[in-house]
A and B are shown apart, each in its own frame.
Chain A
């Protein structure tokens, strides 16, 4: 069995940024294990622009953004293995993996960074009636087919779900000559970013039907059409509102789910709201020395924030390996973060002030659309942050920055509550 200080599972944006920052924090022995044939993860198929404004102060496409980090990984001489599937991680941080060259092999790690990303919610999870004809794809599969393999999945398209990948694919398939007839969204608001509604749908006159869902798929061998219906406030289809659209393709952009089979297998506690690990201020799971970052932790809208979060995970993993004695000496009081009244979750979910860096970004999502409201943060019963916001929506991740200095002023603090308030 080989020994490494830090094993990073996944070579996408999170894994790459974690590796770079761990190396920059002085850890020599690092390996990235990636199951695909190249580094970069999902960025390789995201050929659209809009990446990197925060990180590089310029607007890049997905592959360009990935290349910036891949170049750093190579320049820093960080080891990585491609075409390598991690099969199991033990609680003692033994990583079992396999590939064609090495067969099955084991690695003993001092710290593990989980950066496996997420998967798309499939048709099977949706209870759409009808046959199972060809022509139904998740939006990300269609994205891979069009952008990397050079195939068009179909000519006349209906999209269910207004997640960002679905919106991006509405534009992409339109540019490639397909007719995108409609995007239907079950919820009364879009799940994607506003800018994508503007530049992917509005620019091309593609209608977005909110509070609509697919109630029937026609076609036995190949999709021939789908029926949409409006839904009521309980998401039940309203009889008489059915509309038929002939099409040969149905794309599903109905949500992403963090891929935590390995995490669960090793005993990492999962937050049922995010489907990702519960983590503390160091992005460390309930298992000491096991860190998580990026979409495996919670689904992000923006790769720039994945990189930022993963850099922190890499630094913290490095500090763990080196054993930060100063923090060990300090008393370990833990503050609970409590999401309530419109705030669905927070990452992290606990803070040990002694171990936090000078600044900590708490990220969260809201459960509905809120207009002219306030994001409030209470330290126990005292309201310390009260920030006016014009619009909050579930499709857009929010953040609040806390400082160590601020928290040190409240030595008896037990709970930090996050809520949305009308005034």
Chain B
């Protein structure tokens, strides 16, 4: 049986997690103080994912850049591809929180959405 010690990254509490594994199977997660910690522990040892945040250019608005994020977490291995896909994106103002900026980024099935309003 393999034991992995992780720090939960879901919130700034940073709970120390202990994940017990048997091969690729997660047997137990302990040390977490909420349900998110359990989910994170299981995912992190099998298919680690992250929310990716960045910015894209915006034309004709009161700001030059609009901040964006992946609507859900994406596989860790796709982070750089995701950021690369945003490199030359330019949107037209107005942009509102939640507007889809790029759909299905880097083949992840996850959309990139705006996280601020630029009018």
List chain A positions with a Cβ less than 8 A from chain B. 44, 47-50, 53-54, 59-64, 67, 146-150, 175-176, 193-195, 197-199, 203, 301-302, 390-391, 396
Contacts and interface: CB of A to CB of B under 8 A. Distances in A.
Contacts of A148: 63-65
A197 B9 CA distance: 9
Contact of A193 (B12, B63, B80): B12
Given A148-B63, A195-B12, 5 more contacts: A47-B55, A63-B97, A198-B7, A198-B14, A203-B50
Nearest to B86: A175
Given A61-B67, A194-B7, A198-B7, A47 B14 contact: no
Given A61-B67, A150-B64, A199 B9 contact: yes
Nearest to A198: B7
A62 B116 CA distance: 9
Given A67-B117, A195-B8, A147 B14 contact: no
Given A149-B64, A195-B7, A49 B14 contact: no
A396 B116 CA distance: 28
B65 A147 contact: yes
Contacts, number: 82
B89 to A, nearest CB: 12
Contact of B83 (A48, A67, A175, A198): A175
Contact of A47 (B8, B16, B115): B115
B80 A195 contact: no
A43 B6 CA distance: 28
B9 A198 contact: yes
A142 B34 CA distance: 34
Interface of B: 6-12, 14, 16, 50-55, 57, 63-65, 67-69, 76, 79-80, 83, 97, 115-117
Contacts of A149: 64-65
A58 to B, nearest CB: 11
A38 B116 CA distance: 12
B53 A390 contact: no
A391 B16 contact: yes
B12 A49 contact: no
Nearest to B55: A147
27 contacts: A44-B116, A47-B55, A47-B115, A48-B53, A49-B53, A50-B11, A53-B11, A54-B11, A59-B51, A61-B69, A63-B115, A64-B116, A67-B97, A67-B117, A147-B65, A148-B65, A149-B64, A150-B57, A150-B64, A150-B65, A175-B54, A175-B79, A176-B54, A195-B11, A198-B14, A203-B50, A390-B16
Contacts of A176: 54, 83
A194 B119 CA distance: 37
A49 B49 CA distance: 14
A302 B12 contact: yes
A150 B88 CA distance: 12
Contacts of A67: 97, 116-117
B10 A59 contact: yes
A390 B7 CA distance: 13
B9 A195 contact: yes
A110 B57 CA distance: 44
Contacts of A47: 53-55, 67-69, 115
The residue among A44, A148, A197, A302 with the most chain B CB atoms within 10 A of its own CB is A148
Nearest to A199: B9
A302 B12 CA distance: 7
A146 B8 CA distance: 27
Contacts of B14: 193-195, 198, 396
Nearest to B54: A175
Contacts of B53: 47-49, 61
